[in-house]
Amino acid sequence: MRVPAQSVCTAIRDDIVAGVHARGSRLTEEPLARRYGVSRVPVREALRTLEAEGFVVTRRHAGACVAEPTEREAADLLEMRLLLEPLGAARAAERRTEAHLKVLRGLVRLGRRRARQGTGDDLRSLEGWFHETLAQASDSPPLVAMLAQLRHKIAWMFTVEAQVHPLASWEERGAVVDAVARGDGERARRLTTAHVERATAAHRPRPRTPGRARIPKHPVHTTVTRA
């Protein structure tokens, strides 16, 4: 079965974000094909997509390489998030379905419980799931795609300090969901802006990985990984 280029793209992107492929390192088709257990064709297509997304650049005499964003570019990403996530929340207040609300409320309940119990190991993944669902509720595919790219790039370029008061952060998300449920787009926008501003303060530039990253074998599954 031919592995879709989208699956290969997701796998390479995830490894770039995780630092497996260091910034500035070359991305050669044949070693990548061996690593992900695919032919060179989906690798070539995936690299083109990742270049369009800004994770990869093509350099003369070197070919495809992992991009090396500047500090200014990284700062711009946080500012873009501050603009787009509140827009997504406002759109969600207008367009959400009952299914979206059910998932959002369930995530808020689970996040609050984990925060109270002090079992915060999975809080980061719950936070990502919440914000992805909120974006999906906007019913705007271009906005959903842009926010997904922003999340990947921010995770690539920044580390996030542990929250001192994680429960307060989930209370903020709960208030956003309440506004979305009432269809109050302006309140959802304001609350999300305040939430993102506080979250942004905990971001610190991720140190660059020196040297060449180790490349273990990592076959790609035929199912598409959720972005």
Question: What is the pLDDT at residue 211?
Answer: 43
Q: pLDDT tens-digit profile of 8-64?
A: 999 999 999 999 999 999 999 999 999 999 999 999 999 999 999 999 999 988 899
Q: Where along the chain do its domains lie?
A: 5-66, 71-205
Question: What is the pLDDT at residue 227?
Answer: 35
Question: What is the pLDDT at residue 223?
Answer: 42
Question: What is the pLDDT at residue 117?
Answer: 85
Asked if residue 191 lies in contact with residue 173, where contact means CB atoms within 8 angstroms, the answer is no
Tokens for 87?
Answer: 């827009």
User: Options 2.30.30.100, 1.10.10.10, 3.40.50.300, 3.20.20.100; which CATH number does 5-66 get?
Assistant: 1.10.10.10
How far apart, in whole angstroms, are the C-alpha atoms of residue 109 and residue 101?
Answer: 12
* pTM greater than 0.85: no
Domain 71-205 has CATH 1.20.20.10: no
Q: Which residues of the chain have pLDDT under 50?
A: 1, 211-217, 222-227
Question: What is the pLDDT at residue 225?
Answer: 36
